[in-house]
Structure 1
Amino acid sequence: MLTASELRDDASARGDCWVEVEFVTVSGDRRRLPWQSFPQVAAQIGGPVRSFSSYRGQKNFPGWYWSATLGRRIGFESWVERDHLVALDFDPTVSDVVSQPFTLLWDAGTRRRRRHTPDFLVRLDHGRTLVLDSRPSERIKDRDREAFAATARACGDVGWEYAVWDRLDPVLAANHRWLGGYRHPRCFDEPTARDLLQVFACPQPLLDGAEAAGDPLGTLPVLYHLMWRRWLLADLALVLSHRTVVRVSPHVADVADLASARSVPLSEQGW
């Protein structure tokens, strides 16, 4: 992953000067204004600043991802972006995500005007804002690096964070996708959840616990939903299987509140 400090250093060396930002409001109007004014009105972003293209022979795979955090769909332009969306949805510190949130326009010198549309704007707990680009490292070219550097410097000047994410670890991404298949609230059942939390109070293999709580056909979907919500924990850096050791989060609340409670933060999981 490229760090924001590295990218800002690149931009400073070239003397890039950003000028304006374009975005689409909640009412559907397209606005352009000075970048320094944008954080005060960023809450007015109503959706992507540009559409997601789809055509015969296309090499990337655009689509829509339903976010359990937001209860709505978010667009993506590649499977790398999709995996990043799943990871953001899994992260309980994330409160909002907007895809293709704005276009930054800046003067790159020698009469060149550049523009760049980041992939995501992410609102985090404690008022933090992260601007994110998804790009496999082997596909980053000099022109991309220039755009990322200018964006990093612009974000730093208004107190926002910026990052370029590479492909996720394939095991972690696969585990996220599997658990994400059970993210919808319809997978929650309070009596089954109560039984599972009691069973996994003593850490044990996933399938053993599912069978101890009842018929696995009924308990496994709820188990995976609880893992998605981080009420049940496992080491997701390892391949998820029936032998995966699962345990209850030390910060689990009363099961009766589970349907409306937020997931357990990463910092409180104890792994």
Structure 2
Amino acid sequence: MGLRELEGSAPSQVDGFEVGWRDAAGEYRQLPSEAISVAFEEGRPVRGFPSYRGQRHFPGLYWSATTSGHVGFESWLERDHAMLLDFTPEVTGLLSQPFWLFWEDERGKRVSHAPDYFARFDDGRGLVVDCRPLERIDARSAAKFEATRTACVSVGWGYRVVGEVDAVRMGNIRWLAGYRHPRHGVAEGLVERLLALFSVPSPLVGQAALVGDPIAVLPVVFHLLWQGRLGADLSRPLTDTTLVSRVEGR
């Protein structure tokens, strides 16, 4: 998804756009400028996720290890991208439906759009994400996405329209997400031993078995892979023989 390829710097005001959001207390606020100063990741979604009989999409809540709270989604695609953002070590904040963006089109008609996600990175940069299968982006959606991109670039945020993720990579990340909770990394002595053992690329299960019963040790290995402290080639299915190694500097 290229989460590190955030688009460049720009002035700190958005000309021609208004931004509406809910703060941490749920109070709605709206500003015509200075959106870059708002900690959207600390607020609340600007709209809910309806559920009804016959619904084509599958809304729900994803528990984020990054925020220690729930992030909403309206489809499996959105859930996958919430998971990918949660999996990105540099992401420190995440909110679904973070704000309303308002503007006027070329005919003077007022238009609004609520992006799917806002992510904050550890260096302070912001990333706005819209999720949509690329083949389902019609002219109306494309115009909204382009306007949203313009607004984001104006304040120095990145913007991405993201579609389906590679099935193998996503399958691996879903598996690792099962071990994202901090409870899997509380055995500090075990963590340090595993990081030392995987200082050179080694087979996943064989190396973990040197420490103890794989049933007890592997959840910690998967947690370290989720955290990015261990690394592996996630473009191929995780197997017993997948080479795992310590990630320097983490």
Q: TM-score, normalised by structure 2?
A: 0.89
1:153 aligns with 2:168: no
Of 49, 57, 62, 2:59 maps to 62
Of 24, 27, 30, 2:28 maps to 30
**Residue 46 of structure 1 aligns to which amino acid in structure 2?**
G
Of 191, 200, 222, 1:193 maps to 191
CA–CA distance in structure 1, aligned partners of residues 191 and 226 of structure 2: 13
Q: What pairs up with 1:202-217 in 2 under 5 angstroms?
A: 202-217=200-215
Hey, what does 1:246 align to over in structure 2?
244
RMSD: 2.2
Does the aligned pair in 2 maintain the 1:4–1:152 contact within 8 Å? no
Of 216, 219, 232, 1:218 maps to 216
Does the aligned pair in 1 maintain the 2:22–2:44 contact within 8 Å? yes
SS at structure 1 position matched to 2:17? strand
CA–CA distance in structure 1, aligned partners of residues 227 and 150 of structure 2: 35
Hey, what does 1:97 align to over in structure 2?
94
Shift of 1:44: 8.4
The structure in which a higher percent of residues are helix is 1
Residues 1:78 and 1:248: Cα distance change in structure 2 (over 3 Å):
same
CA–CA distance in structure 2, aligned partners of residues 37 and 223 of structure 1: 43
**How many aligned residue pairs are there?**
240
Cα-to-partner distance string for 1:155-197 (whole Å, 9 max, x where unaligned): 1122222111111111111111111110111112223323323
Hey, what does 2:227 align to over in structure 1?
229
SS at structure 2 position matched to 1:127? coil
**Residue 232 of structure 2 aligns to which amino acid in structure 1?**
A
Shift of 1:235: 0.8
CA–CA distance in structure 2, aligned partners of residues 49 and 143 of structure 1: 21
In structure 2, stretches of 5+ residues that fail to align are 8-14
Shift of 1:43: 4.8
Does the aligned pair in 2 maintain the 1:64–1:73 contact within 8 Å? yes
Hey, what does 1:122 align to over in structure 2?
119
SS at structure 2 position matched to 1:159? coil
Residues 1:196 and 1:44: Cα distance change in structure 2 (over 3 Å):
closer
Cα-to-partner distance string for 1:91-130 (whole Å, 9 max, x where unaligned): 1111101110111111113242211100011111222111
1:171 aligns with 2:168: yes
SS at structure 1 position matched to 2:150? helix
Residues 1:195 and 1:23: Cα distance change in structure 2 (over 3 Å):
same
Q: TM-score, normalised by structure 1?
A: 0.82
Q: How much identity, in percent, do the aligned residues show?
A: 46
Of 180, 183, 190, 1:183 maps to 180
In structure 1, stretches of 5+ residues that fail to align are 6-16, 252-263, 265-271
**Residue 216 of structure 1 aligns to which amino acid in structure 2?**
P
Hey, what does 2:48 align to over in structure 1?
51
